Amino acid sequence: MVDIPQDDPTILKLNAAQESAQSKYRRKYLGMSGIGEECSRKLWYDFHFVLPPEEFNALTLRRFEDGHRTEDLIAKHLRKTPGITLITEEPGTGRQIGYSDFGGHFRGHMDGHIEGIANAPDTAHVWEHKATNDKKFNELNKLRFANEKAALAQWDPTYYAQAVLYMFYGNYFRHYLTCSTAGGRELTAVRTNADPVTATKLRDKAKRIITSNEPLQRISDDKTFYKCGWCRFKGLCHEKAAPTRDCRNCCHATANIETGLWDCKKHNCEATELCTSHRFLPGLIPGEPTDANEAENWIEYKMDDGGIWRDNG
C-alpha cells in the first residue's frame, strides 16, 4: 500500500505559487493602522526600511484575502439594511477615505463613514470592519457586554489607536466597529467615543518616529521577552545583525515633514534611490563611532566585540 503524503502535493504547489507571486510593495509611510504598536523601535525600524520587505506564507496571505473579502461582504449587507447609509469612497475620486499628516509621512485610510445605525441613528460614525478568529471574536463580545464603550481599547489597543485617530482627523465623535468570524458568518459590533487626548499622544508618537535619527525605545531589553521572540527585527535589535542599506536609513537623508519627501543633504536632492554615498545612521551599528571624515564620507566604529569597522560603502 502506497503511503499517502502528509501534505497534498498539489496544495504544496499552490502554496508555493501564491507565496512567489505575492506583491513586493512596501508602504512608504507610517500608518495610522499600526501606530498603536507598543514597541516604538519596531515602528522606527519599519519606517526606515532597515530590512527587506516582509514576506508571508500562503496561510497568512489567504487570511489577508479573507479579511478584504469579508469587509466587502459586510459593507454590501450594511448598504442593504434599511436606514443605513455607508460611504466607503471619497466622493468624486473613487479613492478610500483617508487622512494624512507631516507632509504625508503619516497616513490612514478608514473603511467608511456610516449613518443611521439603530442604536445611534442621528450620529455619523467612522466605520471599520475586522475579521478575526473565533477566540478573538468571543473576547470582543464578552467585553462588549461588560462595557461597550471601553471594549475596543481593552480588546485591541492597535485597533483603538486607529479608531481614535480617524475620529480625530475626520472630526467624528463616534466610531462603529463591526467584527466577524472568518468569512463573515458571525457578527458583532461595538461603539467607541472620540478620545482626542489619546489621539494627540499618538500623533506626537508618530512625529518622533518620523523625525528621529536614532532608534527609539524598545519594548524590552530582554531578547527572551515573548513579544520580542516573534518580532522580525529581533536579530537587528537584540542580536547585532546587519541592517539593509536604504536611503531611509542613511545619515545623509532626512524625512521632510513639510513636503513629505526624503531630503538628501549629501547630493542636495530628493533621496529616492540607493547610491554609493550611503552611510548608516550610527544607531543601527552595534558599536560606538570613534572617527569620521565628512569629505571622504566615512565613519569608523569600535564594535561591541572590540573590532574596528569603517562604514565606507
Could you tell me the mean pLDDT of each successive run of 10 residues in the chain, 313 residues long? 70 95 92 97 98 94 95 97 96 91 98 96 97 97 96 98 98 98 94 98 98 96 93 95 96 97 96 95 96 95 94 84
Enumerate the H helices of the chain as residue ranges. 9-20, 40-47, 58-79, 134-146, 148-155, 157-170, 196-211, 226-229, 234-238
Asked if the structure places residue 11 within a domain, the reply is: no
Are 37 and 164 in the same domain? Answer: yes
Asked if the structure places residue 234 within a domain, the reply is: no
Asked if the structure places residue 164 within a domain, the reply is: yes
Q: What pLDDT, on the 0 to 100 scale, is given for residue 2?
A: 53
CA 128 to chain centre: 16
| Residue finishing a domain among 161, 190, 208 | 208
Asked if the structure places residue 240 within a domain, the reply is: no
What's the order of all strands across the beta sheet hosting 98-101? 30-31, 106-109, 98-101
Are 202 and 312 in the same domain? Answer: no
Are 159 and 179 in the same domain? Answer: yes
Are 202 and 54 in the same domain? Answer: yes
Are 103 and 200 in the same domain? Answer: yes
- Closest residue by Cα to residue 31 from 161, 174, 171: 161
Are 151 and 289 in the same domain? Answer: no
Q: What pLDDT, on the 0 to 100 scale, is given for residue 3?
A: 59
> CA 187 to CA 196: how far, in whole Å?
28
Q: What pLDDT, on the 0 to 100 scale, is given for residue 7?
A: 84
Are 311 and 249 in the same domain? Answer: no
Q: What pLDDT, on the 0 to 100 scale, is given for residue 212?
A: 97
Q: What pLDDT, on the 0 to 100 scale, is given for residue 180?
A: 97
Asked if the structure places residue 120 within a domain, the reply is: yes
Q: What pLDDT, on the 0 to 100 scale, is given for residue 291?
A: 96
Q: What pLDDT, on the 0 to 100 scale, is given for residue 93?
A: 87
CA 79 to chain centre: 29
Task: Give the 3-state secondary structure of residue 307.
Answer: coil
Asked if the structure places residue 155 within a domain, the reply is: yes
Task: Give the 3-state secondary structure of residue 313.
Answer: coil
Are 257 and 305 in the same domain? Answer: no
Are 33 and 53 in the same domain? Answer: yes
| Residue finishing a domain among 161, 191, 208 | 208
Asked if the structure places residue 12 within a domain, the reply is: no
Q: What pLDDT, on the 0 to 100 scale, is given for residue 94?
A: 86
Residue range of the domain that includes 265 = 245-278
Which residues, in sequence order, are bridge partners of residue 193? 174
Q: How many domains does the chain contain in total?
A: 3
Are 203 and 267 in the same domain? Answer: no
Are 201 and 92 in the same domain? Answer: yes
Q: What pLDDT, on the 0 to 100 scale, is given for residue 91?
A: 84
Are 192 and 253 in the same domain? Answer: no
| Residue finishing a domain among 162, 190, 208 | 208
Asked if the structure places residue 251 within a domain, the reply is: yes
Q: What pLDDT, on the 0 to 100 scale, is given for residue 136?
A: 97
